[in-house]
Chain A
Amino acid sequence: MTFIGYFSLPVVSLTSFFTGGALALQIYYGGNQFNSEAIVSSIVALGITRELGPVLGGIVVAGRVSSAIAAELGTMKVTEQIDALKTLSADPISYLIVPRIISGIIMLPILIIFADIIGIMGGWFIGTQSLGFNGSVYIQNTVDFLEVNDISSGLIKASFFGFIITIMGCYQGFNSNGGAQGVGKATTNAVVSASVLILASNYIMTNLFFAS
């Protein structure tokens, strides 16, 4: 949990902060600058909580965690450590895979709560420092506009992304073979497959949550 959650916090925070800032600039320059203070804050909040926070956070964590899990389990496989577990009557699924999946499912939503807050703060920072918005009005607009559903849908997505990230890391690691080259391939495949599945499942979940 520490590895997936705590140690991923800096990179997720940085990604979210800059994404929030860039989003604020894009909305401001790309849209009608009349009444932009309300529009920028509300769209940044919606964009971050519903989509960009969980998706970008998920992809960043996939790059960091899925690869690490695949490399660790892949190395265990090629050095016969997984076989050793079996000979010592330990079930590799419950010893190696289940704790990682549970950690992913629990820690991703927690990370994304931070990502949402920091992403919105990124928009606020650019809005107040660069675009001349009033800070308290920006925050008030954000609070007024956001609904519980916006945040909870992002957190449900994050939880599912946590599952995808860890299961792909475990799957690729467990099925690696061929020594160092096989472990490298498993690592790459874990990140690529987790990222693609995050994007695809995000589309499906967005459709489920907001289409009706």
Chain B
Amino acid sequence: MIKIENLHKYFENKKVLNGVNLDIEEGTSSVIIGGSGTGKSVLIKCILGLLTPEKGRISIKNNLIFENGKFKKNSKIKIGMLFQGGALFDSLRIWQNVSFYNIQNGKNKKLCFDDAILNLEKVGLSKDVVNLYPSELSGGMQKRVALARAISIKPDIIFFDEPTTGLDPISADVINKLIIEKVRDIGATSLTITHDMSSARTISDKIHMLHKGEIIWEGNKDTIESTDNPFVVQFINGLSEGPIN
């Protein structure tokens, strides 16, 4: 579904992605783990076209979307994204946020409003919130609204950037379960980046570890517990001593 080959990204002289190779199968939930500053968010932003890599290839659904330093537009692939902070539009009401894509594409506003209520219900929010602004909601509710917005376009692929960051453990578990359910409901392929191991174990079919801009380990939630890779062992156990400085 998503194939990344030898992807490089620099910021001035700092090498952030150093030849990333990644293959994500259709219909699976993959999680990329890694410490802060290892390039996880940069990798997702490169796939989304928000950042331009220096070299490498990115293919989605067998369509080459990035090669030789250039993106090729492919409007057939729908991609949803749940940003770390939600990234809801402050100036728009909740229903306008959820149905933003449809409003921009000229869909009838009444239909968009009704659609927003349905999508909010899917993430466990009542219609009482539809006319509120994002600042009037708690962090957990904002994440749910952002999830409703991401699934409202019925994406083929959905990215989650640190979906549980900043949430209490119960809200984080609610978001994890919603991610599993909703991704399954819409039949999308998902890619999540996180350093929350509890979240990674809950939502992943496959886990990849990124360190210093390279994928250094791949496995699943069972094999990660038995691996002897010192980087993975240090990371999942939260040890200060080890090969990760």
Measured CB to CB, the nearest residue on chain B to A78 is B85
B100–A87 CB distance below 8 A:
no
Scoring A residues 22 to 40 as 1 if CB is less than 8 Å from chain B, else 0, what string do you get? 0000000000000000000
Could you show 20 A-B contacts with beta carbons less than 8 Å apart?
A: A76-B89, A79-B85, A80-B85, A80-B87, A81-B88, A81-B89, A81-B90, A83-B83, A84-B81, A84-B83, A84-B89, A86-B48, A87-B50, A87-B79, A87-B80, A88-B149, A88-B153, A89-B101, A89-B105, A90-B104
Contact of B84 among A72, A80, A85 (CB under 8 A): A80
Chain A residues, CB < 8 A from B89: 76, 81, 84-85
Q: Majority SS of interface residues in chain B?
A: loop
Chain A residues, CB < 8 A from B84: 80
B101–A80 CB distance below 8 A:
no
Q: How far is the CA of A80 from the CA of B90 in the complex (A)?
A: 11
Chain B residues, CB < 8 A from A84: 81, 83, 87-89
B45–A83 CB distance below 8 A:
yes
Q: How far is the CA of A83 from the CA of B48 in the complex (A)?
A: 9
Q: How far is the CB of B6 from chain A (nearest CB, A)?
A: 25
What is the number of contacts between chain A and chain B, taking CB atoms within 8 Å?
Answer: 47
A83–B101 CB distance below 8 A:
no
A80–B49 CB distance below 8 A:
no
Q: How far is the CA of A72 from the CA of B89 in the complex (A)?
A: 11
Chain A residues, CB < 8 A from B49: 86
Scoring B residues 211 to 245 as 1 if CB is less than 8 Å from chain A, else 0, what string do you get? 00000000000000000000000000000000000
Q: Majority SS of interface residues in chain A?
A: helix
- The number of residues on chain A lying at the interface, defined by a beta carbon within 8 Å of a beta carbon of chain B, is 15
Measured CB to CB, the nearest residue on chain A to B155 is A87
Chain A residues, CB < 8 A from B75: 89
Chain B residues, CB < 8 A from A89: 75, 101, 104-105
Scoring B residues 61 to 100 as 1 if CB is less than 8 Å from chain A, else 0, what string do you get? 0000000000000010001110111011111000000001
B100–A80 CB distance below 8 A:
no
14 additional A-B residue pairs with CB within 8 Å, beyond A76-B89, A80-B83, A81-B90: A72-B91, A80-B85, A81-B87, A83-B83, A84-B81, A84-B83, A84-B88, A84-B89, A85-B89, A86-B48, A86-B50, A89-B101, A89-B105, A90-B100
Chain A residues, CB < 8 A from B100: 88, 90
Measured CB to CB, the nearest residue on chain B to A75 is B90
B104–A88 CB distance below 8 A:
yes
Scoring A residues 76 to 110 as 1 if CB is less than 8 Å from chain B, else 0, what string do you get? 10011101111111100001000000000000000
Q: How far is the CA of A72 from the CA of B91 in the complex (A)?
A: 10
Q: How far is the CA of A141 from the CA of B153 in the complex (A)?
A: 65
Chain B residues, CB < 8 A from A90: 100-101, 104
Q: How far is the CB of A157 from chain B (nearest CB, A)?
A: 31
Chain B, 94-135, CB within 8 A of any chain A CB: 100-101, 104-105
Q: How far is the CA of A85 from the CA of B87 in the complex (A)?
A: 9
Q: How far is the CA of A86 from the CA of B49 in the complex (A)?
A: 9
Measured CB to CB, the nearest residue on chain A to B49 is A86
Chain A, 28-86, CB within 8 A of any chain B CB: 72, 75-76, 79-81, 83-86
Q: How far is the CA of A83 from the CA of B83 in the complex (A)?
A: 9
Q: How far is the CA of A80 from the CA of B85 in the complex (A)?
A: 8
Q: How far is the CA of A72 from the CA of B83 in the complex (A)?
A: 19
